[in-house]
Structure 1
Amino acid sequence: MGKRVPAPRRRRLYTRALPLGLGVTALLVGGGAALADRSESGPTAGAGAPQDDKPPSTATTKPPPSPSASASAEPSPGTPSRIPIPPDGPGTFTTARSAGSPVGSGGTVRRYKVLVEKGIDLSEREAAVEIETILAHPRGWTSDGRHSFQLVGSGPSDFEVKIATPGTVDRICGAAGLLTRGEVNCTVGRTVVVNLKRWVLGSDQFDGPVTEYRALIINHEVGHRLGRGHVTCGGAGKPAPAMMQQIKGLRGCHANAWPYAENGTYITGPAVP
């Protein structure tokens, strides 16, 4: 898994409002294989890219408005930027009972659920809305017309996004042979595991609002479920690819949370072995 990732220094957090109430995400991992991908902190562990095993479904594109670059809001009590970060938790989760419409214009509709570990002072409904908004963003994975997502609160799903305490993340990821050291996220099989510490604090390497860093977490880990591997900076002064491990340093790129540029170009760089 590489070198230990140092604990982030405390810094002032900035928040930016994201559009709410949008349709959204689900990822299909073929055959339920025990595929373990390392998070932003390291390379993929496990076999090749996931394969779809369901026939394509039709999804209606409902692009949300792009957030204003100047929009900002001071955190208020009860928001994720103010919640405590317990070092460990019970390892049991509450599922958000929210549901949305499919978003995207092609490919299989990947259905997903959002779960929050019990004992965390974070609303699973609010987390689901934020993740739904990220996956519905016009610069997200639906931009290429080949991926569609839908948030579901019950019934079958293709993948899950779990927000968990650092200790629980270490146990889930460690069971697949991944070393997260209480600091980073991972993807194991059909489960995207989000470290509460990163969700709340962001990263010192990411110069932007913590809401943008949450978008990077989701886009990076869901990108693994779409078969995307790690890449590095494509050149000094360019935006860092969403599939780059930005927490390890930007290598001349500038921080970026989105897979696609505003003109629809996919942001990438040299593959990481």
Structure 2
Amino acid sequence: MRHHRKPDKRPWPVLAVSIALLGALVAGLCAAAWRQDSGEAAAASPAGRDAGAPPGGRGAVPRQGTGRFTPATGDSAVSGHGRPLRYGVDVEDGIGQDPQAFAAEVDRILADRRSWTAGGAAFQRVGRAPYDFVVHLASPGTTDRLCARFGLDTGGEVNCQGGSDVVVNLKRWLLLSPFYRGRPAVYHALIINHEVGHRLGRGHQRCPGPGRPAPVMMQQIKGLHGCRPNAWPFDTAGRPVEGPAAP
């Protein structure tokens, strides 16, 4: 049973509780504002040739690594038919990511039957030069520096491809996109297929129509425009998933 007591006419306890409640309310509003800002920052940032997506998650992402890279060792099996493009994989030091684990995911994506191999490309990861391209996993700061060499402004947010470099921004790799929230494997496939598609000479495309799957070469950071999320250049039947060329 709850016991009642005479009201305390002194104002200080009431005032202290009011101040505490006001402080909690302000803290909550600030936290909500931070969450909204963290989800919209990438959309407001300048994007270079390519694409990533607005942050779809939370967590601490190192802004800057050491600028040095550790390569993944060993060779993968050849995927596709014909002369394979030799690719390397490395990870920037100081960002808490394992080169072998990152390489295994890149290998899995490029070897998938829905990848560019369905269109005649072939790939093999190798642990030594020469390379046809190298996939780098880099901190946002290092991504900006690497991509700037090709005249691309990634704004600390997105990925890029230039020359023989495919640069994956750690922020995108970890935080994903609202369209792929909770599906990291699928969003990782979009990143790799999109940037490697540029290395293969593919340009940007637009949504082919409402309800259709979004082309992998579509800049999905700008919205799906009625298309459904899709991370692969070909469907399970080997048919290309394409749209009109973007201006």
Category of TM-score, reference length = shorter chain: 0.7 to 0.9
**Cα shift at 1:165:** 0.3
What one-letter code is carried by the residue in structure 2 that aligns with 1:8? G
Normalization by structure 1: what TM-score?
0.70
Alignment partner of 2:233 out of 259, 267, 272: 259
Do residues 115 (structure 1) and 90 (structure 2) align? yes
Aligned equivalent of 2:71? 95
**Cα shift at 1:213:** 0.5
Larger gyration radius, structure 1 or structure 2: 2
Alignment partner of 2:49 out of 15, 31, 38: 38
**Cα shift at 1:208:** 5.4
Normalization by structure 2: what TM-score?
0.77
Provide structure 2 residue ranges, at least 5 long, that are not aligned to the other structure: 1-36, 42-47
**Cα shift at 1:170:** 0.7
**Cα shift at 1:87:** 0.6
Give secondary structure in 1 for the equivalent of 2:134.
Answer: strand
Aligned equivalent of 2:11? none
Aligned equivalent of 2:132? 158
Aligned equivalent of 1:143? 118
Deviation track 1:47-70 (CA, whole Å, cap 9, x = no partner) reads xxxxxxxxxxxxxxxxxxxxxxxx
What one-letter code is carried by the residue in structure 2 that aligns with 1:113? G
Provide structure 1 residue ranges, at least 5 long, that are not aligned to the other structure: 1-5, 11-36, 43-80
What one-letter code is carried by the residue in structure 2 that aligns with 1:40? A
Give secondary structure in 2 for the equivalent of 1:8.
Answer: helix
2 CA distance for matches of 1:255 and 1:97? 33
**Cα shift at 1:92:** 1.1
Give secondary structure in 2 for the equivalent of 1:257.
Answer: coil
How high is the sequence identity, in percent, across the aligned residues? 50
Do residues 104 (structure 1) and 135 (structure 2) align? no
Alignment partner of 1:235 out of 209, 225, 235: 209
1 CA distance for matches of 2:147 and 2:89? 17
Alignment partner of 1:217 out of 191, 194, 204: 191
2 CA distance for matches of 1:127 and 1:159? 16
Deviation track 1:87-129 (CA, whole Å, cap 9, x = no partner) reads 11221100001311211123x3100010100101111000000
Do residues 271 (structure 1) and 237 (structure 2) align? no
What one-letter code is carried by the residue in structure 1 that aligns with 2:139? T
2 CA distance for matches of 1:206 and 1:132? 21
Do residues 245 (structure 1) and 219 (structure 2) align? yes
Deviation track 1:4-51 (CA, whole Å, cap 9, x = no partner) reads xx75369xxxxxxxxxxxxxxxxxxxxxxxxxx811169xxxxxxxxx
Alignment partner of 2:108 out of 133, 136, 151: 133
Q: Indicate conservation of the 8 Å contact 2:205/2:215, yes or no.
A: yes
2 CA distance for matches of 1:149 and 1:85? 30
Give secondary structure in 1 for the equivalent of 2:104.
Answer: helix
Question: Aligned runs of 1:182-193 on 2, under 5 Å?
Answer: 182-193=156-167
Give secondary structure in 1 for the equivalent of 2:101.
Answer: helix
What one-letter code is carried by the residue in structure 2 that aligns with 1:124? P
What one-letter code is carried by the residue in structure 1 that aligns with 2:72? A
Greater fraction of residues in helix: 2
Aligned equivalent of 1:86? 62
**Cα shift at 1:172:** 0.9
